[in-house]
Amino acid sequence: MLKYIGKRLLYMLLSLFLIITATFFLMRAAPGGPFTSEKQLPPEIEKNLNAYYGLDQPWYQQYGDYLVSIAQWDFGPSFKYKGQTVNDLINDGFPVSFMLGMEAILLAVAIGILLGVIAALNHNKWQDYTAMIIAVLGISVPSFIMAAALQYFLAMKLGLFPVARWESWAHTVLPALALASTPMAFIARLTRSSMLEVLSNDYIKTAKAKGLSRPVITVKHAVRNAMLPVVSYLGPLAAGVLTGSFVIEKIFGIPGLGSHFVLSISNRDYTTIMGVTVFYSILLLLCILLVDIAYGLIDPRIKLAGGKKGE
């Protein structure tokens, strides 16, 4: 296990280095500059700003300095948020996005697996059709439409939850539901197809022949072995959801990391773009590592060192 984790950490460092390099040079290749706007700055002021932020240095020196600062977990100052660094923006926005994302992931996993299991156990029955209709709606309806519908019916019409803002637990319910709708639908479909495959295996038939009850067969044998596709989907899902969804955060007025990231693009805040991209990449790589480790915990037959099932 330790050898496997060490090997994966080396691959993660290499991947992160390539991501940082690509992000740095893509930002430099983008037309315009961080101080380009509709109102043209006087050349003297723009020159002083470039000198202050080190943008007048040769590209290789800027690149080297950026690698050193990343290694020290310093993403640099924000070009547009005066008096704030990119680290400050991440520290302020990520906890909010993390809380919202964790709630959305828990809802998506719990409801998605439940719908998928019910559909598989009642294949080609009304329960199966109902669960899959819900899944199709979750995939087909965009998150911003789902958010608006939840606000209209549950908040404005029924008054069950606040319409927007971020002040208490009640304010998190609607955005979490809107954010969880699409991944919940994917998890339901993945669980259903995987459960149908597992239920057709010989060891399930043997368990039934031994007289084991249906709940025991479902929970102990079927669900556990059907979770591998769901776990593999959770890696990139967790990284994307935890770093924030700009659409959902914008609709509900949530001060998360997603809003900072998109605003930095429109504001040409290059350091914030690069910093959030690197932060997202680190989180994504860590989530994928956790998913690979979870494979071995769910299915002990998988050899982590080789990724193959033992004979």
- Whether residue 163 lies inside any domain: the answer is yes
Domain at 215, CATH number: 1.10.3720.10
pLDDT of 240 higher than 80:
no
CB atoms within 10 A of CB 18: 11
Instruction: Provide the pLDDT for residue 311.
Output: 40
pLDDT in tens, 50-70: 787 787 888 889 899 999 999
**185 vs 53, 115, 119, CA distance in Å?**
46, 9, 12
In-domain check, residue 164: yes
Taking the C-alpha atoms of residue 298 and residue 194, their distance in angstroms, rounded to an integer, is 14
Q: Is residue 228 in a domain? A: yes
Nearest 5°: phi and psi at 309? Answer: -85, 140
Candidates 279, 280, 245, 285; CA nearest to 262 is 245
Flag whether 292 is in a domain.
no
Residue 201 lies in a domain: yes
275 within domain boundaries = no
Which one-letter DSSP state was computed for residue 46?
Answer: H
Domain membership of residue 265 (yes or no) is no
Task: Note whether residue 178 is domain-resident.
Answer: yes
State the residue range of the domain holding 163: 93-255
C-alpha distances (whole Å) from 26 to each of 22, 31, 65, 259 are 6, 10, 17, 21
- Please count the structural domains in the chain: 1
CA distances from 19 to 113, 129, 275, 303 (A): 34, 43, 11, 29
- Indicate the range of 17-21, 25-29, 157-161 predicted with least confidence: 25-29
pLDDT higher than 60, residue 306: no
Beta strand ranges found along 209-250 (DSSP E): none
Distance between CA 264 and CA 179 in Å, rounded? 22
Q: What is the rounded average pLDDT of the residues 135-159?
A: 89
> Which pTM was predicted?
0.79
Rounded to a whole number, what is the distance in angstroms from the first to the last CA of the chain?
19
Question: Phi and psi (nearest 5°) for 167?
Answer: -130, -30
